[in-house]
Amino acid sequence: MEIPPIVEKAGRRVQKLKMRFIVIFSVLLIAGLWLYSRLQWIPAGFVGVLYNASGGLQKKIYQPQRLFVGPFQQLYLYPTKLQAAIYSQDPNFGEVRSSDGVLITTSDTATTNFDVAVFYRVEPENVFKAFESFGPIRIEDIQVQHIRRAVREAANAVGTQYDVFQLIGPKREEASLALTARLKEILGRKGITIEQSMLLSANPSSDINAKITSRVNSYTQLTISRLLAQIAEISRQTAVTRAQAETKARTLQADQTKDKSLELLELDLQEEAIDAWNGKLPAIQSQPGQTVILGGDTLSVLGGKQ
C-alpha cells in the first residue's frame, strides 16, 4: 500500500525534530560537562587568586568556594592555615622521597646533614606579595624550591655561630630559635609568614661520629675522675671525724677515771681511820659553831686517862 504524501512528510518532520533534539541535548550536555570541568574548589584554610594568560593577575582574593576558572585562566592557592615543610635525610620521610636533609657547616668547618621542620602560612594580605616574589607556581613548588633554599641559607648562617658538638647537643634549641628569626627576615619580605622552625635529628659523618665518641669517652672519664676525687675527699673527712671522735672519747674516759681514783683514795683513808678507832667517843665533843678552850691541867688529866 502506498504511503500518503502527507504522512510521509509528517514522518520526515518528526525525524528532523528528533535529530535536532539529539544535537541540542548533546551540545548542552557537552557544554555542561565542560563548564563543570572548569569549576575548581578553594578548600577551607586556603585562599585563591586567578591568573589570566592575557591580562595577568586579577587583583581579587577568593575565599573558600567553588569557582569557575576560564579556559585561559589558572587558579593558584595559598594556605592561610599552618603548613609543615619537612626536609629530611630519610628517603622515606619528608616532602621529597629522597635524601633531602639540610647540610650545615659549623664554626669548626664540619659539615653535617640535619633534618629541619619549618611551619609557615601565607596571610591573606600577603598573597599578592607572595605571587610577585615567586611568580605563577604552586605553593608545593614554592615549598620544595624556594623555602628550602631559604632554609639552607639561614641554617648555614646560624651554623657558623656554633661548633658541631654544640649544634648536635645542648645548643640545638637556641640555634632553632636563631634559625626561626633568620627565616622570618628572609621569607617575611616575600609574603611567607614563618611561625617556627626546628633543627631535628642530625646525621653526622663517620669522622664526626668518631670524634663524638672520643669526646663522650673523655667526658665520661673526667666525670669518673671527679666522682673518685669526691669519694676520696669524703673518705678523708670521715677519717678525720672518726679520729677526732676517738680522741674526745679517750679524753672523757681519762677524766672519768681520774675522778673515780680520787673517790677511791678518800674511801681508803676513811677505812684506815675506822680501823684505828678504839671504839670510844672523845671526852669533849664540840657542837657546830662552839669554841672549846682546854687548859694544861685538862690535857694532863685526859692524857692520864688514856
pLDDT of residue 147: 93
Q: Report the pLDDT averaged over residues 151-163.
A: 93
Burial (CB count within 10 angstroms: exposed 0-12, middle 13-18, buried 19+), residue 172: middle
The H or E element spanning position 259 is: helix 206-276
Arithmetic mean of pLDDT, 206-231 = 73
Instruction: Say yes or no to pLDDT of 267 above 80.
Output: no
- Mean of pLDDT values over 118-140: 93
Average pLDDT of span 149-157: 94
Q: Which residue has the higher pLDDT, 106 or 246?
A: 106
pLDDT for the residue numbered 13: 76
Element (H, E) at 46: strand 46-52
Reading the block at residue 18, the C-alpha cell is: 528528533
Q: Report residue 114 as a C-alpha cell.
A: 640535619
pLDDT in tens, 23-79: 888 888 887 777 777 788 999 999 999 998 888 889 899 999 999 888 888 999 999
Give me the pLDDT at residue 305, please.
47
What's residue 158's pLDDT? 94
pLDDT digits (tens, 9 = 90+) for 16-29: 778 888 888 888 88
Percent of the chain with pLDDT over 90: 33
* Distance separating alpha carbons of residues 271 and 111, to the nearest angstrom: 100
- Note the pLDDT of residue 173: 92
Q: Is the pLDDT of residue 81 over 90?
A: yes
Mean pLDDT over 171-181 rounds to: 94
What is the structure's pLDDT at 176?
Answer: 95
Percent of the chain's residues with pLDDT above 70: 71
What is the C-alpha to C-alpha distance for residues 306 and 289, in angstroms, rounded to an integer?
27
